[in-house]
Structure 1
Amino acid sequence: MMWSTCLRVLRQLKGDPRSIALILVVPSLLLALVYWLYENEILAPSVPRTFDRVGLMMLGIFPFVVMFLVTSITMLRERISGTLERLLTTPVHKADLLFGYALAFSIMAALQALVATGTAYWIFGLKIAGNAGWVVLISVLTAVLGVALGLLCSAFATTEFQAVQFMPVVVIPQILLCGLFVARAQMNGVLEALSNIMPLSYAVHGLQEVAGHADPTSSLVTDLVVVAAFVVAGLLLASLTLRRRTR
């Protein structure tokens, strides 16, 4: 049942060109915008480009934002249309159902990460110390994190507008406190504490570790484990909402 759910969701996405464009095209276009912002900067010899720092972080942030939005709205439609309720009246286990949704969106997230990372390296010449494979892995993880949180938040919305309203509550604070604008160690105590419990902070830190080290570090491994743990926790919490919303 998990695979049949996954295939059904993928077929639905295939028939929705706007969602396909949002997932596969928009992150690369936003990355291009970031590149053009710094295109004319004047740098001293041997000083790395600002794009190599900011653009790298965007490879973790953009997939997270886009997949959260797509997943929360798509899952909400499944709930409102009654599709989810009808499926739960069958003998299917709710875990199979939930992970079918998660697998479908995660496949799209992986494609998104590959497209965005390829754009950053091959078109905009991203240069960092670490291997591109780690960048792709972190980008996929953050995208799947967006999927998990999107599945969870969709349970608490009754309209698509309400689903979008979770953006300033769940997504924007993480962007502000992840270390993109101010190093987390330089924040005041309260903001640093909040940053430490937000998964996007660990994804961004992991990208910073990849940028500064040719070989994977223990901090990078820790960051990956923390983000993966948040993904699992998000999916487990989302599974609880299936029972509550469909009884």
Structure 2
Amino acid sequence: MILSLLRMKAIMQKEVRQLTRDRITFAMVVMIPLIQLLLFGYAINTEIRDIPIAIVDQSESEVGRIIAEAVEVTQVVTIVQRYATVHEAQQAINDGTARAVLILPSDLTQRIAQKRTLGQWLVDGSDTMISAAIMQLKNMPLNMLINYQTSQPATFEVALFFNPQRRSAVNIVPGLLAVILTMTMILFTSAAVVREKERGNMELLITTPVHPMELMLAKILPYVVVGFIQVIIILGLGYYVFDVPINGSVVQILLGTLLFILASLTLGLIISTRAQTQLQAMQMTIFILLPSILLSGFMFPYEGMPVPAQWVAEVLPATHFMRVIRGIILRGADLLDVWRDTLWLICFTLLGLVGASLGFKKSLD
């Protein structure tokens, strides 16, 4: 068999023309590596800074103010709130407002004179990278307050909540629930509408009295059951195999997961109504999946990202569900405690359904 360069050239020219005419595919070829390289190269940072913390200064003294300033100067933490009682501060950890609390006792001056530990950190240990960063402050020097002639004792005591053994599985398994649901739910529905076009079923749908919103809901509801099956498998294995504690209510877990499943399925529908082919739908899905995994806080702490990357992360449903599911499972929170993330998932689903319905209407014109 003799290869013909002319025939090969003709086919290559056809492929290039076809690629340039397919605007979405051509844009993905350029934009996927460009945007993701800039985004992830800039956003992924294992050096954590500006961890939101609260402080309870029971001493109400000038020394307490100096210690608070010294802790904040490290740039590892940022004081976002001050509370009068330890109970209020612990509630801030439970609802995710603060990742740690610094408690300065009323006898702070006496502790300095006696060269004892000056206070205590209460830390959300469910995130091992966050707790490791706070642990670095355990022995921070405060030479402006006390001059140790011998070996310096720990400046602060540390109490790790929710994961005192600092096991990574405790943090990873709930996060995997968000990642796996993101991948499967978006993949299921990203080709749902465009598949009807490619199979020639769109004309049938046009002739039926089905309303666009009815079609969108009918497309996603069957996959809700699939999502719950995955939830049972992941949490069951996490509990029995990896000994991940489930501190929250099962009802709260299921409700929070339902909101995220609906949001993810809706995101897939938006992709499906915008794509012209299943290949385009798959490319757009990949474009969404990578940021959802890398910017949601699953692999790298949200606090370690620069502000522009956090803005991108805040748009993604996976970021909000990561906080919700870890809060419920590990900290025993409920949906009201994490109401901001709960509200975002609800609004995203409603707006997404409207957007997908309008996109389907346009495809009928």
- The structure where strand makes up a greater share of residues is 2
Structure-2 residue corresponding to 1:147: 265
Distance 2:269 2:319 in 1: 20
| RCO higher in structure (CA 8 A, sep ≥6) | 1
- The structure where helix makes up a greater share of residues is 1
In the TM superposition, 1:118-197 aligns within 5 A as 118-197=236-315
Deviations 1:118-142 (A, max 9, x none): 3322343321432344333333332
TM-score (norm 2): 0.51
3-state secondary structure, aligned to 1:155: helix
Contact 1:69–1:150 (Cα < 8 Å) also in 2: yes
Structure-2 residue corresponding to 1:62: 180
Structure-2 residue corresponding to 1:73: 191
Matched, 1:84 2:202: yes
- One-letter code of the match for 1:243? K
Distance 1:101 1:201 in 2: 24
Matched, 1:244 2:362: yes
3-state secondary structure, aligned to 2:191: helix
Contact 2:292–2:313 (Cα < 8 Å) also in 1: yes
Distance 1:56 1:123 in 2: 14
Contact 1:129–1:210 (Cα < 8 Å) also in 2: yes
Contact 1:52–1:128 (Cα < 8 Å) also in 2: no
Q: 5+ residue gaps in structure 2?
A: 1-162
Structural RMSD (CA): 2.2
Contact 1:72–1:151 (Cα < 8 Å) also in 2: yes
Q: 5+ residue gaps in structure 1?
A: 1-44
Distance 1:180 1:108 in 2: 22
Distance 1:128 1:168 in 2: 31
Contact 1:64–1:145 (Cα < 8 Å) also in 2: no
Match 2:316 to one of 198, 206, 216? 198
Distance 2:165 2:203 in 1: 57
- One-letter code of the match for 1:107? V
Contact 1:113–1:140 (Cα < 8 Å) also in 2: no
- Aligned residue pairs total 203
C-alpha deviation, 1:217, in angstroms: 6.3
Structure-2 residue corresponding to 1:13: none
TM-score (norm 1): 0.73
In the TM superposition, 1:42-61 aligns within 5 A as 46-61=164-179
Distance 2:176 2:300 in 1: 15
Query: Rg: which structure is higher?
Result: 2
Structure-1 residue corresponding to 2:228: 110
Distance 1:131 1:48 in 2: 23
Structure-2 residue corresponding to 1:233: 351
- One-letter code of the match for 1:150? G
- Percent of aligned pairs sharing the same letter: 24
Distance 1:174 1:46, change over 3 A: closer
Matched, 1:223 2:319: no
